[in-house]
A and B are shown apart, each in its own frame.
Chain A
Amino acid sequence: MVTALLIAGVIIAALIVGTIYRNRVGRIKNINEVKHVVSASDIGTELGSVATILQFSSAFCAPCRITRGTLSTVVTSFTGIKHVEIDAEKNLELVRRLDIRQTPTTLFLNSAGQEIARAVGAPKRDQVISALELISG
């Protein structure tokens, strides 16, 4: 009886956690108070003139590929917006400074390199488009 309750409890817990995760993953959160600023030397390339989408990836990660596909196609329809992908494992100093906890994590930087939004997990295409429209004004 106790075992049956335990098993039911684990199944319910997994369903709850999985559902929360599914709703949260990839959601783009706006950042009201700028905490992180990224410079061209941090990422080894010039920032986009309007905005930069900075994607942290690892070789280890399947959703990173999906994210790369989404972001690289979306940026082509905007001018001045650059998609830069960084290998998290090879840039641990930057990973710590920007508090990247898992891959993929995507930062939306304005022209000054200030982080104004962040998505953990593969972001949805239409959300990326509306975030970029907001930045481009």
Chain B
Amino acid sequence: MSELREIDARGPRWSAGLTAIVLIVALITKSPVVIAIQLVQFGFGAFATPPKSPYGILYRKLVQPRLPKTFHTEDIRPPQFAQWVGFFFALLATIGALGHTWPLFTIATVFALFAALLNSIFGYCLGCKVYLLGVRLRHR
């Protein structure tokens, strides 16, 4: 099967908005279940692709049909890379919540929330920005 390389650029932004809401609920409830839901979302986004993640599917089924038919597309790699970054933070947060290590849970969730807010409100993808710096460091 040929992989999808270009996706509707509005999808990741919508997912980031939903992510921000879920992370806020997680911070309020301190519930391992809520942060685990977000971990699963990031996991699908990173290991599969963002359109195959739960929020991506919700976007296509519920949101996209109500939006204008013309839209910008973007390369799938930046949002997928960002889901990896999100997965890492959500993993730390989930470990923190399960072990009742609340500082770990709070710090990791706050970082993820900050990135999700920037992405959903401004369309500014923090995870994508660090990419070139990462490549520069790797290939010395």
Interface of B is mostly: helix
Contact of A15 among B121, B128, B136 (CB under 8 A): B121
CB within 8 Å of B: which A1-32 residues? 3-4, 6-7, 10-11, 13-15, 17-18, 21-22
| Any B CB within 8 A of the CB of A92 | yes
In the bound complex, what is the Cα–Cα distance between A57 and B135 (angstroms)? 13
Least Cβ distance of A106 to chain B in Å?
14
On whether the beta carbons of B136 and A95 are closer than 8 Å, the reply is: yes
Number of interface residues of A (CB under 8 A): 27
Q: Are B106 and A60 within 8 A (Cβ)?
A: no
Give the Cβ gap from A86 to chain B, nearest Cβ, in Å. Answer: 12
Instruction: State whether the Cβ of A36 lies closer than 8 Å to any Cβ in chain B.
Output: no
Do B135 and A61 touch (CB < 8 A)? no
Complex: how many Å from CA A32 to CA B129?
27
Q: Chain A contacts of B132 at CB under 8 A? A: 58, 60, 88-89, 95, 100-103
Residues in B neighbouring A88, C-beta threshold 8 A: 132, 135
Partner of A60, one of B122, B131, B139: B131
Question: Can you list 30 A-B pairs with a CB-CB distance of less than 8 A?
Answer: A3-B27, A6-B27, A6-B106, A7-B27, A7-B113, A11-B117, A14-B121, A15-B117, A17-B118, A18-B121, A18-B124, A21-B118, A21-B124, A22-B124, A60-B75, A60-B131, A60-B132, A61-B75, A61-B128, A62-B72, A62-B75, A88-B135, A89-B135, A92-B135, A95-B132, A100-B132, A101-B132, A101-B133, A102-B129, A102-B133
Interface residues of B (CB under 8 A from A): 9, 24, 27-28, 72, 74-75, 77-78, 81, 106, 110, 113-114, 117-118, 121-122, 124, 128-129, 131-133, 135-136, 139
Interface residues of chain A, those whose CB is within 8 Å of chain B, are 3-4, 6-7, 10-11, 13-15, 17-18, 21-22, 58-62, 88-89, 92, 95-96, 100-103
